[in-house]
Structure 1
Amino acid sequence: MSATCRLSALQAYAPDTVLSNDDLTKLTDTSDEWIFSRTGIKERHKLADTQNASDLALIVARKTLHEAGLEVGALTHILAATCTQDMLSPSVACILAGALNAGPVMAFDISAACTGFLYGLSLTRSLLTENPDANILFVCVEALTRRINWTDRSTCVLFGDGAAACVCSGNAGKGSAVLEDVLCKSDGSLSGLISVGGGTACRYAKGDTVGDDFFLHMQGRETYRHAVRQMTNVCEELLARNGLAMAAVDLFVPHQANMRIIEAVGCRLNVAADRVFTNVEHYGNTSAASIPLALAQACSVGRIRPGGRVLVTAFGAGLTWGAALLRF
């Protein structure tokens, strides 16, 4: 039997630098109207040249621990969901543990791209089954602008940087939510639809110029089709196995990829627009950070109230997808 997994002290952080659609017109052949009509995005955040993903993770981790009233020494695990690590090794989680002076905690990264938050919830629940007294700092962070080709208007307009974090434990904390259920899936046969280069498959010698394989690539039309179908299907499956109808959900928080995908999934699930939360207009797609960033904002503006049930879903490179039910 799975242990109770509670998320508390959910916090979010986005870098100060904002790139508007008008800013992007100076980098590639596009316009505010072209971007907004196709994506619903007006602006996105970009980390500073002196920052890395681990720096964003440290900022949001400190906010979370402060909100939770939890000493670093009480942590047993640090888990980071990201597909834009500072380097292949060490992990963002280990870099973060060192920056926090966390001591000998278990620390590791997971890479499920935009589905990272959901994969992480599944893992934290498993860790709590093994150790019900664990205090897990779970951070979702992305530095996607470091892997963007700014001359490719089909991808550069979509992505931004950001981070979010929470403490996962068996105990209730500030603003806590219970993980009622989570379901994660993948299809590796479609891995070529979305990719972020920079790994060992990029066989560069010292002094070589970085090639196109270093940057994010996406087959947009096929990705859209699979994203809409799989997010819809996994939500329906999750609700069915919990004996719930969509009417039992107070708020739907989908991955903030673009408005066309959000609207298509909402339509298929028959969710009224006033029960869907979006912030893609101001943040773009922040991959693993997308859902927790949206959840934190929804809480801060009163869209999620005590007792409310929230359905979240995401789809990302891998291909990966999933859904979760949270009770606040």
Structure 2
Amino acid sequence: MPLAQIIGTGSYAPAQVITNRDLEKIVNTSDAWITERTGIKERRKAAPGETTSDMAAAAAREALAMAGTRPEELDLIVVGTITADMPMPSCAVLVQAKLGAKRAFAFDVAAACAGSVYALSVADQFIRTGQAKRALVIGADLFTGVLNWKDRNTCVLFGDGAGAMVLAPSEEEGRGILSTHLRTDGTLAEILTIPAGGSREPLTEENLREQRHKVVMNGREVFKCAVRELTSVTREALRVHGFTPAQVDHVIVHQANMRILEAVLQRIEIPIEKCWINLDKYGNTSAASVPIALDEANRAGKLKRGDVVAMMAVGAGMAWGSAMVRW
């Protein structure tokens, strides 16, 4: 049974840049406060009328071009997102139409910031079992549309973007996605949520006024969960393959907060120099975070044949996961 190999990567970030200085004008915060606590200096915001599927399709086209794959050759499209264009249908079907990938079946995976790792794991299974020969995995979120711009604890963190990966059966033994590891703890659901807009709390004039259709986060608890569980799930992946931390060549981690990145890497004993970091430019792009970082590292020529790449992400749910890849 062949491994699934990532044969193309792509990414997209909207043109509009929102700096920390811009946020100082609309919320009680400062560039120094944001930088010290998060490491973020700026983030991107989708243009008026620009949708999640638009961003996803743009990233997908880059990945397909690198992979030398035509849209009509795709068997599967999986999109990790929680900010689809509309409640129904899925973002993935709109991406399929925009790409012209007529043969592909398409669906979304909702795991918030861990969405792209979850989507990668799903596509990996289809490739391994032979049910798909070409799979497109996308992480895309338009988070600026679900933020309360009066809440400095959340509005300074997130930005918009999309990243994509094309998967195919590996032609070289031992090269590709070695394993994925997914975990969830639903008892932590309330620490990061959008309370209103679903069946539990349908939208009303009152909860719209109260901004309950926007992101609400217990930052302290999210931080503790992220550090604890990303450390655990990455150690698990290393243990499964008998790798030592020194054998990991690159780390591609969800870009949520610089303090989280530093704490996790310290605990798993991997130097931060091995981690591709771009959260200063993009902030937390949710499901897009991991594939954007992977694409940037790939296009910068950092990833060499045979390199061991550890990928990891955590998001609302709480949901988290890791992937171990031999490039």
TM-score, normalisation: structure 2: 0.94
Aligned partners of 1:102, 1:312: CA distance in 2, in Å? 28
How far off its partner does 1:7 sit? 1.0
State the Cα deviation string for residues 148-200 of structure 1 (Å, max 9, x = none): 00110000000000101111121469xxx711111010000111011135334
Q: Which residue of structure 2 aligns with residue 39 of structure 1?
A: 38
Contact 2:197 2:203 in 1 (8 A): no
1:65 aligns with 2:64: yes
Report if the CA contact (8 A) 2:183-2:319 is conserved: yes
Shift of 1:298: 1.2
SS of the equivalent of 2:212 reads helix
CA distance in 1, matches of 2:242, 2:320: 21
Deviation at 1:207, TM superposition (A): 11
Give 1:88's aligned residue. Answer: 87
Deviation string 1:251-309 (CA, Å, 9 cap, x unpaired) is 12221001010011111111222222211111101111111111111122233222211
Equivalent residue for 2:203? 204
* RMSD, aligned α-carbons: 1.9
Counterpart position of 1:120: 119
Partner of 1:263: 262
Write the distance in 1 (CA, Å) between the matches of 2:139 and 2:129: 22
Map of 1:182 onto structure 2: 180
- Does structure 2 retain, via aligned residues, the 8 Å contact 1:202–1:214? no
Q: 1:298 maps to what in 2? A: 297
1:1-328 equivalence runs, <5 A = 3-131=2-130, 133-171=132-170, 178-196=176-194, 197-204=196-203, 209=208, 211-328=210-327
How far apart, in 2, do the equivalents of 1:287 and 1:208 lie?
24
Work out the CA distance in 2 between the residues paired with 1:77 and 1:232.
31
Which has the larger displacement, 194-203 or 68-77?
194-203
Inter-partner Cα distance in structure 2 for 1:210 and 1:109:
30
* 1:223 CA drift (Å): 0.8
SS of 1:297's equivalent? helix
Percent identity, please. 38
- Structure 1: segments with no counterpart, 5+ residues: none
Alpha-carbon deviation of 1:204? 2.7
Distance (whole Å) between structure 2 residues aligned to residue 219 and residue 147 of structure 1: 16
Letter in 2 for 1:231: L
* Native 8 Å contact 1:202 1:213 kept in 2: no
Give 4+ residue runs of structure 1 displaced > 4 Å after superposition. Answer: 205-210
Q: Which moved more, 1:207-216 or 1:186-195?
A: 207-216
TM-score w.r.t. length of structure 1: 0.94
Contact 2:11 2:295 in 1 (8 A): yes
Displacement after TM superposition at 1:243 (Å): 0.9
Give a deviation string over 1:99-127, Cα, whole Å, max 9, x none.
Answer: 22222421100001111121112111211
Read off the aligned partner of 1:5 and give its amino acid letter: A
